[in-house]
Structure 1
Amino acid sequence: MKSNISSKLYTHLIFWILYLILEVYLDFYWSRYQFPDFKWPVRLQNTVMLELGYLLIKIPLAYAMLYVYEKINIKRVFKYLLCIIILVTGVLVHRFFTHYIIYPFIYGVKETLDGHQPSGFINGLVAFNAFMDLIFMVGLVFGIEITRQKNLLNQQISILKAEKLDQELTMLKAQINPHFLFNTLNNIYGMALKKADETPDVILQLSKVMRYNIYEAAVKSISLEKDIDNIKDFIQIQKIRHHQLSVVFNEDLDHPSQEISPLILIQFVENAFKHGVSESLGHSFISIDIQLKNGILTYRIENSKEERSQGQSTKMGLKNIHRQLELLYPKHTLSVEDQNDRYIVELSIDFNDTSSL
């Protein structure tokens, strides 16, 4: 609210300064024809005094009409009628100021239409000129204010959209991470009952992964190298659980510090374990290939599955991931191949694309 008021004051202050400069320039240019005997310093001084005097009329008029238009809650026809009354009052004050003050006290002459005949206080032509002058000014003020409000509204909409996207991403990520935590805790519980020697190692690996998920990943972007290290830690935990698992991990990065949204890539690995390896009765495998060349990430995961496996839950998981990618990297490419005995997922992200930042 406070920044909105400051923005309005700053915008309107700049407007009135520029408007005054414009009016002084135009009237100063016109005065050399109406008052050719006046020296230019005198004409400039008179023009500045003239326009400052007019501002005392125009500023209250403009904001009175703006107040009626924005704040007074009445029927539109009465609102227009009230604006017309304010405008007519402004024309009369404008004419009074011009006829009785400007010409006799500033220029020291009587007001005339053509340089010869005196003009009355109410005259059709001069009243029309005053009307057009005020209409032009009011139109500028309304245009400036409407534009300012539109820009402010667009900024607020952009902020709300960004907040909505952040909230949606947080919710989408939260749907996946607890699954891994609960499963791992169950595994640790089972290992503890058996008094397995690997139990302390699993706890340490879990602590490292959760530290990354909760603290290090609580940012919009992180280096690709750190995100891949988290995937490796995750796989180490799963390898302790799945003794018959074969893992092939290929990594080729020409720019390891390339930033990426955290916890995006690991979700494909989680999906591979949840709907592939965990459902396999015998030997299972996961093949992961990550390459980054010239700002283009290519990510391929291939994992085994049982031929009887139902793919609906897999599709639901990939739908969640795909939604996150749409929000973060709109021009990504993602393909999923569901074969009889394996899943193949290929993802490509072009970090050179500015729309993906």
Structure 2
Amino acid sequence: MKPIGTSKLRIHLLFWILYYILEVYLDFYWSRYQFPDFSWQLRLQNTLMLELGYLLIKVPLAYSLLYVYENPAIKRFSKYFLGLLIIVLAVLVHRFFTHFIMYPYIYGVTETLDGKELSGYINGLVAFNSFMDLIFMVGLVFGVEITRQKNVLKEQISQLKSEKLDQELTMLKAQINPHFLFNTLNNIYGMALKKADETPEVILQLSKVMRYNIYEAAEKSISVRKDLENIRDFIQIQKIRYRHLSMNFTEDLDNPSQEISPLILIQFVENAFKHGVSESLGEAFITIKIVLKNGILTYFIENSKEEMLHKHSTKIGLKNIRRQLELLYPKHSLIVEDKSDRYIVQLIIDFNDTFRA
């Protein structure tokens, strides 16, 4: 977010430039009828000087009223009294400038009303005209400032929501990472007990997965290609342990560089092993299909499981992943089928219509 002070200065400076141009145009157009004998060059010169003089009155008036209005230390009744006093003083100064400076020194004539010369600068009708001119300007300034403050408030609220979202996602990822490492280390522990020759290879694979979880997963988004590479590494570790596993992994990506939040897809693969393959007594299978076409990701994963083994399973991580999907991709589609002999997940993410990618 841009610094509030800088933004306010820029907006108000732009307002006064546009306001000055508008007033010059209106008074220059009016001077054609008020001073028909003047050349346009002289009328333009007089109008530029005139409006500069009025700005010296209007700018202090506007910000004096803004100060009174925005100052929480000033009570309501005092705000009304001070506001009225400031406006009255501004009208008097406005009339003084118009009567004693503008007409005699800028236009070189005496101020008149209905063809009659004004002997003094206080007159009910002309004072009302000055009041309306000043109030119109004050209304514009207050409108600009209130609109600016509302926009700043919206930006602040949006920033707070974004920060809260980032904090919640960080917390959810922190909950997922230990769960992933817990399952993987259990696999290596089992192999170490058996003194399997493949143990060093699995450790090497694990180092790649660890590198991904520590560095890549810390990013808000990564490419689908990198995410799938991590899934393959994870599967490679598991396949060494589960030799009875029938694994079918297919992918069809038209844009492998498409960004996705890390640690979403792998959580379903992890559950497929933890709540399916690891508990299977006979042949087990996992089928994974990933299709990315025109910004739409379709992710299908099916795994075998033993009947009724999941009755009391908490499936740690599934609740977290649902929450991540709600935060990152509000219009996603997630269908989970827990059948007697298999577990099926189908996830669809439309990257063309996401809140945060």
Change (3 A) 1:80 1:311: farther
Larger deviation, residues 196-205 vs 258-267? 258-267
* Correspondences of 1:225-244 after superposition (within 5 Å): 225-244=225-244
C-alpha RMSD of matched pairs (Å): 2.0
Per-residue CA distance 1:165-209 (angstroms, 9 max, x = gap)? 222112112211211212322433443344321210111011001
Distance (whole Å) between structure 2 residues aligned to residue 312 and residue 120 of structure 1 = 95
1:102 aligns with 2:106: no
Larger deviation, residues 235-244 vs 197-206? 235-244
Contact between 1:69 and 1:79, CA under 8 Å: does it hold in 2?
yes
Q: Look up the match of 1:273.
A: 273
Query: Offset at 1:356?
Result: 6.1
Distance (whole Å) between structure 2 residues aligned to residue 316 and residue 131 of structure 1 = 71
Q: Secondary structure at the match of 2:287?
A: strand
Larger deviation, residues 164-173 vs 115-124? 115-124
Please tell me the residue identity of whatever aligns with 1:166. D
1:221 aligns with 2:224: no
Per-residue CA distance 1:100-125 (angstroms, 9 max, x = gap)? 11112212222111233326322111
Contact between 1:113 and 1:119, CA under 8 Å: does it hold in 2?
no
Distance (whole Å) between structure 2 residues aligned to residue 157 and residue 236 of structure 1 = 45
Contact between 2:330 and 2:354, CA under 8 Å: does it hold in 1?
no
Query: Offset at 1:289?
Result: 1.2
Contact between 1:275 and 1:314, CA under 8 Å: does it hold in 2?
no
Distance (whole Å) between structure 2 residues aligned to residue 325 and residue 88 of structure 1 = 60
* Correspondences of 1:2-151 after superposition (within 5 Å): 3-118=3-118, 120-151=120-151
Q: Secondary structure at the match of 1:188?
A: helix
Distance (whole Å) between structure 1 residues aligned to residue 24 and residue 320 of structure 2 = 63
Distance (whole Å) between structure 1 residues aligned to residue 19 and residue 228 of structure 2 = 59
Query: Offset at 1:309?
Result: 2.3
Please tell me the residue identity of whatever aligns with 1:92. L
Distance (whole Å) between structure 1 residues aligned to residue 253 and residue 49 of structure 2 = 71
Please tell me the residue identity of whatever aligns with 1:122. I
Please tell me the residue identity of whatever aligns with 2:170. T
Please tell me the residue identity of whatever aligns with 1:283. E
Distance (whole Å) between structure 2 residues aligned to residue 194 and residue 45 of structure 1 = 98
Q: Secondary structure at the match of 2:56?
A: helix
Q: Secondary structure at the match of 2:297?
A: strand
Q: Look up the match of 2:257.
A: 257
Change (3 A) 1:131 1:316: farther
Change (3 A) 1:313 1:92: farther
1:195 aligns with 2:217: no
Contact between 2:205 and 2:237, CA under 8 Å: does it hold in 1?
yes
Please tell me the residue identity of whatever aligns with 2:191. M
Query: Offset at 1:339?
Result: 0.7
Distance (whole Å) between structure 1 residues aligned to residue 355 and residue 186 of structure 2 = 41
1:301 aligns with 2:301: yes
Distance (whole Å) between structure 2 residues aligned to residue 271 and residue 185 of structure 1 = 15
Query: Offset at 1:311?
Result: 4.8
Q: Secondary structure at the match of 1:337?
A: strand
Q: TM-score, normalised by structure 1?
A: 0.93
1:152 aligns with 2:158: no
Distance (whole Å) between structure 1 residues aligned to residue 258 and residue 2 of structure 2 = 39
Change (3 A) 1:191 1:137: same
Please tell me the residue identity of whatever aligns with 2:63. Y
How many residues were matched structurally? Answer: 357
Q: Which segments of 5 or more consecutive residues in structure 2 lack a partner in the other structure? A: none
Please tell me the residue identity of whatever aligns with 1:318. L
Query: Offset at 1:64?
Result: 0.5
Per-residue CA distance 1:48-72 (angstroms, 9 max, x = gap)? 1111111111111110110111124
Q: Look up the match of 1:345.
A: 345
Distance (whole Å) between structure 1 residues aligned to residue 84 and residue 198 of structure 2 = 86
Contact between 2:295 and 2:350, CA under 8 Å: does it hold in 1?
yes
Larger deviation, residues 271-280 vs 330-339? 271-280
Q: Which segments of 5 or more consecutive residues in structure 1 lack a partner in the other structure? A: none
Change (3 A) 1:88 1:190: same
Query: Offset at 1:224?
Result: 1.4
Distance (whole Å) between structure 1 residues aligned to residue 343 and residue 17 of structure 2 = 68
Distance (whole Å) between structure 2 residues aligned to residue 108 and residue 128 of structure 1 = 24
Query: Offset at 1:265?
Result: 0.8
Q: Secondary structure at the match of 1:263?
A: coil
Q: Look up the match of 1:326.
A: 326
Q: Percent identity?
A: 78
Change (3 A) 1:222 1:72: closer
Distance (whole Å) between structure 2 residues aligned to residue 353 and residue 330 of structure 1 = 9
